[in-house]
Amino acid sequence: MISDKLEQAKINPEKDYHLKMDIRRIIRVIESDRDHSEMVENELEELDAEHPIYHLIESLDTWESSDHQEFESGINAALIALDDLYELALEEEWNSVASYSLLKSVEYREELGGFDPTDPFDEVLDFLNTHFHGESDVHLGQLGTHVRKMLEHLDEMDEDVINSLLDIIEDRAQHLKSDKQYMSERDYIDYQITIKSHLGEEVSNEQERLIETYKDEFEQKNSANSMIKADILERGVAKCQEFLSDEKENEWRLKIRELNKQAAEEMPVRKREVDVGEDVSRIIDQFKQVREDNTSWQALANLLYAPIGQGDFQASTENMGETPGANMLPKSVLSVEGDSVGFEPGMTQEGERAPAGYTDELNMANHTLAVALQRLIDDNLLSESDFYMVLTLIPGVSIQDEAFLTDALINFFEERYAESIHLAIPRLESVTANVYEEMGKSVTKNQGQVYHQKGLGGLFGLIEEDISTNFGKYLQYRYTDTAGQNIRNRVAHGQIQYSSTNFKLAATTLFDIFRVGARIINEYS
For 334, list phi and psi in degrees, rounded to 5: -105, 140
Decide if pLDDT at 513 tops 90: yes
Q: What's the mean pLDDT in 394-418?
A: 85
Interatomic CA distance for residues 195 and 85, integer angstroms = 31
Interatomic CA distance for residues 415 and 180, integer angstroms = 9
Decide if pLDDT at 373 tops 70: yes
For residue 118, the model assigns a pLDDT of 79
**Diameter of the chain measured on Cα atoms:** 78
Decide if pLDDT at 50 tops 60: yes
For residue 270, the model assigns a pLDDT of 45
Would you say 265 and 225 are in contact if contact means Cβ atoms under 8 Å apart?
no
Confidence bin at 332 (pLDDT 50/70/90) = very low
Distances (CA, A) of 387 to 210, 296, 300, 315, 373: 27, 10, 8, 31, 12
**Nearest alpha carbon to residue 38 among 48, 47, 29:** 29
Confidence bin at 247 (pLDDT 50/70/90) = very high
Q: Give Cβ neighbours of residue 465 (< 8 Å, ≥ 6 apart).
A: 472
Decide if pLDDT at 318 tops 60: no
In sign, the C-alpha dihedral spanning 62, 78, 16, 48 is negative
For residue 29, the model assigns a pLDDT of 79
Q: Contacts from 454-462 at CB under 8 Å and sequence distance 24+?
A: 455/429, 455/480, 456/428, 456/429, 456/432, 456/480, 456/488, 457/481, 459/429, 459/432, 459/433, 460/432, 462/436
Interatomic CA distance for residues 212 and 207, integer angstroms = 9
In three-state secondary structure terms, 445 is strand
- Alpha helix stretches (DSSP H) within 241-307: 246-266, 276-293, 296-304
Confidence bin at 211 (pLDDT 50/70/90) = very high
In three-state secondary structure terms, 449 is coil
